[in-house]
Chains A and B, each alone.
Chain A
Amino acid sequence: AQTVTQSQPEMSVQEAETVTLSCTYDTSENNYYLFWYKQPPSRQMILVIRQEAYKQQNATENRFSVNFQKAAKSFSLKISDSQLGDTAMYFCAFMKPDNYGQNFVFGPGTRLSVLP
C-alpha cells in the first residue's frame, strides 16, 4: 500500500517570502501521479499542482513549483512571493491511475500561515 508523509505539521512565512513544504511517499509503483492540494477554511480542496512520475521536468504553476526526486521518493512544494491568501492546510497526495479507479492517498497535511 502507498503511504504519504508530511513531516511539518505547521509552518509560517512572512508575506512576500518563499517557503518550502516537504512530502515523502512510499510506493513500489513506477507509474503514478503526485499532487499538492490546498484546503482553506472554506473546506474546498483546491488543486495547486500536479506531477506525472514519468516526467523528469518539475511542474510549475505561477508562484508554485515542485522539486520531484523520484529515486528519493520526495515531492516538495515551493511557494514564492507568499500571499495572505496562501494561508491554508496543504496536503500532498499520491494517485495510481488504473482502469478501476483514481482514488487519492493523502498525507496528514501542513498548516501554513502567511504573516503580514
Chain B
Amino acid sequence: DTGVSQDPRHKITKRGQNVTFRCDPISEHNRLYWYRQTLGQGPEFLTYFQNEAQLEKSRLLSDRFSAERPKGSFSTLEIQRTEQGDSAMYLCASSLFIRDYTFGSGTRLTVV
C-alpha cells in the first residue's frame, strides 16, 4: 500500500465550473476525512466518513460542496459553481486508529 492517494495534484478551473477530486485511502482504513487548507493557514476539517456513512460535516461545507464514499472505499469531493474563495489545498486523510492517521499530498485548486 502506497499511502493515501489524491487525484489530481493540481486543478485550475474557471469560476462557475464544477470540479471533482478523488481520494483513495489506505485499504484497511475505515475512516476518511477531508480538510481544506488555505494559504498560510492550518488545515480545517470539512467532513468525515466511517465506511460509507458520512457522519460529520463542518459548517464550512456549504451546499455547493458534496462528498461521497461509495462502498466505503475511495471518496470524491465535488464543488459546484466554484468561486475564487474556493481556491485552496484540499487534503484527504484516512485512519483505522489514531496512531495510523495518514494524510495525502492534497489537491491544489485554483479558481480563476
Contact = CB atoms under 8 A, between A and B. Distances in A.
Interface of A: 4, 33, 42-45, 47, 50, 91, 93, 95, 97, 100-109
Given A106-B43, A108-B41, A45 B48 contact: no
A50 B50 CA distance: 23
Contacts of B104: 44
Given A91-B42, A109-B40, 5 more contacts: A43-B89, A47-B101, A100-B55, A104-B45, A108-B40
Interface of B: 31, 33, 35, 40-45, 48, 50, 55-56, 89, 91, 93, 95, 98-99, 101, 103-106, 108
Contacts of B33: 101, 103
Given A45-B43, A45-B91, A109-B42, A103 B48 contact: yes
A101 B33 CA distance: 9
Contacts of B40: 108-109
Contacts of B106: 43
A107 B99 CA distance: 20
Contacts of A97: 98
**Which secondary structure dominates chain A's binding surface?**
loop
Given A43-B105, A44-B103, A45-B103, A102 B45 contact: no
**Which secondary structure dominates chain B's binding surface?**
strand
Nearest to A91: B42
A47 B95 CA distance: 13
9 contacts: A4-B42, A43-B105, A95-B98, A97-B98, A101-B56, A102-B95, A103-B33, A103-B56, A108-B42
